A and B are shown apart, each in its own frame.
Chain A
């Protein structure tokens, strides 16, 4: 149980275009999802916390107009990288909590490797 599916796994796009990444909880409802970013050989950095039915909370330094997050249902959150530039190339990973308990593990998707040319 507690499977998080992320799609696509890889995407290559041209500068100036937008890319949407989907994160789905397959067998549970996730009121809260988290989006992380990982540069090569570095750790995972939290970008934003996504709550179903409300606006996402962004970490300091993350541009909310560039990284649009929508959490329209209890099983789906999307991250849209708008007007992508080469510096947005990175590995993006989503995660979700499997139950409403605050003290429960996070389950992670397999990540999306974005390359902007």
Chain B
């Protein structure tokens, strides 16, 4: 199966700042998803984005499949954006969705 690497592992921002989270994967993917895990453990599905660009409010994501990476942009961050962001990919001939280690985001007021 594929390997998924996320960076940075930790990110601390002031409210209102913008940020970019990165996800690299070791092989081509046919499924890439970004999640936000809240303090209660719930995985909130942010984007299903095997390729291209999508936007949802202050969040947007871009996947460049040919270069095997995806980016999650958070603009005008709010304290409620705090939590762990995971990307997960499926590819390399496997049906398994493999998670990265996550980026822990802390947004301070």
Query: Do they bind each other?
Result: yes
Number of residues of chain B lying within 8 A (CB) of chain A = 21
Number of residues of chain A lying within 8 A (CB) of chain B = 23
B98 within 8 A of A: yes
A103 to B95, alpha carbons, bound, how many Å?
Answer: 9
On whether A91 and B31 interact (CB within 8 A), knowing A46-B97, A46-B98, A49-B95, the answer reads no
| A residues in contact (CB < 8 Å) with B | 32, 34, 36, 38, 42-46, 49, 91, 93, 95, 102-108, 110-111, 113
B68 within 8 A of A: no
A45 to B4, alpha carbons, bound, how many Å?
Answer: 12
| B residues in contact (CB < 8 Å) with A | 30-31, 33, 35, 40-43, 45, 48, 50, 86, 88, 95-102
On whether A105 and B96 interact (CB within 8 A), knowing A43-B86, A43-B102, A44-B86, the answer reads no
On whether A103 and B30 interact (CB within 8 A), knowing A91-B41, A111-B42, the answer reads yes
A38 nearest CB across to chain B (Å): 8
A38 to B35, alpha carbons, bound, how many Å?
Answer: 15
A46 nearest CB across to chain B (Å): 6
Would B45 and A107 count as touching, CB distance under 8 A? yes
Would B99 and A43 count as touching, CB distance under 8 A? yes
A77 to B98, alpha carbons, bound, how many Å?
Answer: 20
Would B33 and A110 count as touching, CB distance under 8 A? no
A3 nearest CB across to chain B (Å): 11
Can you spell out 24 A-B residue pairs with CB atoms less than 8 angstroms apart? A32-B95, A34-B96, A34-B97, A38-B41, A42-B101, A43-B86, A43-B101, A44-B88, A46-B97, A91-B41, A93-B41, A95-B97, A102-B30, A103-B30, A103-B31, A103-B50, A105-B45, A105-B48, A106-B31, A106-B88, A106-B97, A108-B35, A108-B45, A111-B42
